[in-house]
């Protein structure tokens, strides 16, 4: 039995099948992994357990063979149920609602197919709730993560009223008007699921306020505490990663390609909310209206493919590459390529670009936090000016030292890029120091422990 439990769709380990049929284990990174390790290192969770889903065939094979890492329980959920819950609801409905992404004249459509997928989402959450109820010690602390598992707190509360339950949402929370698009019964079920927690947490006051503004929450939230825990970055770990030999090599190659030109850096998944296309349009407008920057700046863009099993994401990823190429064709010269875009998952290149950044461009239309806005100032070699969307969660903490923009205003973003490129080096260095300090105020381990301590204190 476990006294501290974490539940998330993706766990700290994944498996692949080797050619000889044996299983290879790969341990992930990130804030949750660091956080759970912190709990264990302090002796608070020697009997801790992380419950997660088997994400692919190799993970499911590991479950069937009884292969498991200490402190991890992977759930083998029916692949069709998982696909409906994960892609059909979590990523195609809840993600779109919380990020305000719907093309309203056409979407959403809540029909019989949606109802079938919602049943799968309910069953997927129920599998987690039952696994947690079975494994939790009396009065255990359970920390449920993200919009994939929004129903778990309510389901778990019904099974184990003795538990202390927290839910943390890593995305924004939809405005009442947007969430009100859901069918009434589904809206009620979603809110009741969240309010099964003793504490619901968000990255910013803006997202917490959006949750509290829902009339259903206002009427039923007496027993649930709403808290703000803004996740930061681990400066030491990030800097160590950014100065590995392979990053130094990639940095040298990029510097040779860029020359002595200034750099505008962005690193994102090709996620609709990240607003990569308007960022590229702003860069094109900068080159159009400020011709003095032609030949003197390079836009280093890393765009990791995201959710390529969904057509809308495949089309968006293709559009990013096409627009970058059009900019290069319009403005490029034999010795200057205005945009160097990498549409692949290449963390080494991203870290090298971080270190080169004179300007960091982070312009999402809506983002729960956006750690890239915090990471680049921490590792930029010469300091960077941050152009930051006011709709990023990081805006609350970084706004004082960033150049903030309306993410829909391409002209305004182009002007902010000009201001950032023109910023005197001493001012840029001072801003970078303050940005880095704010970015590292609540690193992952402290972020996790704060939530655990708050839950235990209730």
- Asked whether the predicted pLDDT for residue 421 surpasses 50, the reply is yes
CA 454 to chain CA mean position, Å: 23
What would you report as the CA-atom Rg of the chain, rounded to the nearest whole angstrom? 23
Q: Six-digit token pair at 9?
A: 């769709």
Q: How many residues belong to the chain? A: 458
Q: At residue 111, what are phi and psi to the nearest 5 degrees?
A: -115, -165
When pLDDT is cut at 50, 70 and 90, the band that residue 251 belongs to is very high
Confidence (pLDDT) at 47: 83
Give the burial string for 229-250 (b: 16+ CB within 10 Å, else e): bbbbbbbeebeebbeeeebeeb
Confidence (pLDDT) at 44: 47
Confidence (pLDDT) at 222: 78
Helix boundaries (H) for 332-443: 347-356, 372-379, 395-398, 410-422, 425-439
Helix boundaries (H) for 290-409: 311-331, 347-356, 372-379, 395-398
Lay out the sheet containing 297-304: strands in order across. 339-342, 297-304, 262-269, 359-362, 385-389, 403-405
- 10 Å Cβ neighbour count for 329? 9
When pLDDT is cut at 50, 70 and 90, the band that residue 345 belongs to is confident
* Dihedral angle, C-alpha 235, 397, 420, 245, nearest 10 °: 10
| pLDDT (mean) for 355-360 | 98
- Asked whether the predicted pLDDT for residue 54 surpasses 50, the reply is yes
Q: Six-digit token pair at 406?
A: 């309306």
| pLDDT (mean) for 47-67 | 93
Confidence (pLDDT) at 43: 43
- Asked whether the predicted pLDDT for residue 391 surpasses 50, the reply is yes
| pLDDT (mean) for 321-340 | 97
Confidence (pLDDT) at 306: 78
Q: Six-digit token pair at 51?
A: 């419950």
Q: E strand or H helix at 338, and its extent?
A: none
| pLDDT (mean) for 314-336 | 95
Confidence (pLDDT) at 313: 87
Q: pLDDT exceeding 70 applies to what percent of the chain?
A: 96
92-146: pLDDT as tens digits: 999 999 999 999 999 999 999 999 999 999 999 999 999 999 999 999 999 999 9
C-alpha angle 205-30-126 in degrees, rounded to nearest 5: 75
- Number of helices and strands (H, E) in the chain? 20, 15
Confidence (pLDDT) at 45: 46
Confidence (pLDDT) at 20: 86
Confidence (pLDDT) at 29: 64
- Please state, in angstroms and rounded to a whole number, the distance separating the CA atoms of residues 194 and 167: 7
Confidence (pLDDT) at 34: 65
- Please state, in angstroms and rounded to a whole number, the distance separating the CA atoms of residues 199 and 137: 19
């Amino acid at each position: 039995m476990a006294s501290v439990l974490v539940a998330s769709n993706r766990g700290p380990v994944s498996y692949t099948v080797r050619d000889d049929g044996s299983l290879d284990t790969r341990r992930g990174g990130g804030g949750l992994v660091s956080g759970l390790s912190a709990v264990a290192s302090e002796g608070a969770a020697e009997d801790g357990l992380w419950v997660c889903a088997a994400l692919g065939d190799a993970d499911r094979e590991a479950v069937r063979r009884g292969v498991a890492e200490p402190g991890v329980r992977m759930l083998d959920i029916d692949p069709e149920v998982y696909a409906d819950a994960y892609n059909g609801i979590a990523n195609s409905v809840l993600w779109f609602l919380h990020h305000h992404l719907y093309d309203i004249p056409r979407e959403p459509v809540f029909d019989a197919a949606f109802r079938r997928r919602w049943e799968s989402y309910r069953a997927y959450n129920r599998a987690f709730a039952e696994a947690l109820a079975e494994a939790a010690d009396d009065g255990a602390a359970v920390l449920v993560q993200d919009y994939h598992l929004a129903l778990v707190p309510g389901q778990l509360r019904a099974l184990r009223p003795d538990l202390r339950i927290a839910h943390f949402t890593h995305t924004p929370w939809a405005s009442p008007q947007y969430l009100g698009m859901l069918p009434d019964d589904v809206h009620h079920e979603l809110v009741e699921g969240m309010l099964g927690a003793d504490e619901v947490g968000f990255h910013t006051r803006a997202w917490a306020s959006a949750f509290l503004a829902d009339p259903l929450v206002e009427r039923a939230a007496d027993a649930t505490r709403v808290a703000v825990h803004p996740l930061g970055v681990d400066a030491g770990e990030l800097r160590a990663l950014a100065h590995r030999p392979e990053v130094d090599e990639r940095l040298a190659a990029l510097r040779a390609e860029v020359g002595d030109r200034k750099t505008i850096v962005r690193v994102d998944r090709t996620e609709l909310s990240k607003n990569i296309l308007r960022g590229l349009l702003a860069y094109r407008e900068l080159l159009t209206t400020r011709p003095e920057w032609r030949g003197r700046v390079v836009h280093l863009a890393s765009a990791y493919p995201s959710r390529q099993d969904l057509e809308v994401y495949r089309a968006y990823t293709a559009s990013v590459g096409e627009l970058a190429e059009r900019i290069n064709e319009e403005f490029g010269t034999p010795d200057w390529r205005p945009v160097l875009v990498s549409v692949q998952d290449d963390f080494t290149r991203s870290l090298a670009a971080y270190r080169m950044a004179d300007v960091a461009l982070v312009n999402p239309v809506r983002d729960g936090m956006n750690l890239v806005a915090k990471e680049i100032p921490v590792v930029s070699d010469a300091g960077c000016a941050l152009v930051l969307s006011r709709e990023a969660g990081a805006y609350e903490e970084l706004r004082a030292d960033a150049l903030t923009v309306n993410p829909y205003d391409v002209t305004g973003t182009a002007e902010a890029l000009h201001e950032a490129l023109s910023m005197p080096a001493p001012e840029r260095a001072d801003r970078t120091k303050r940005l880095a300090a704010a970015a590292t105020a609540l690193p992952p381990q402290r972020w996790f422990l704060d939530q655990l301590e708050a839950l235990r204190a209730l």
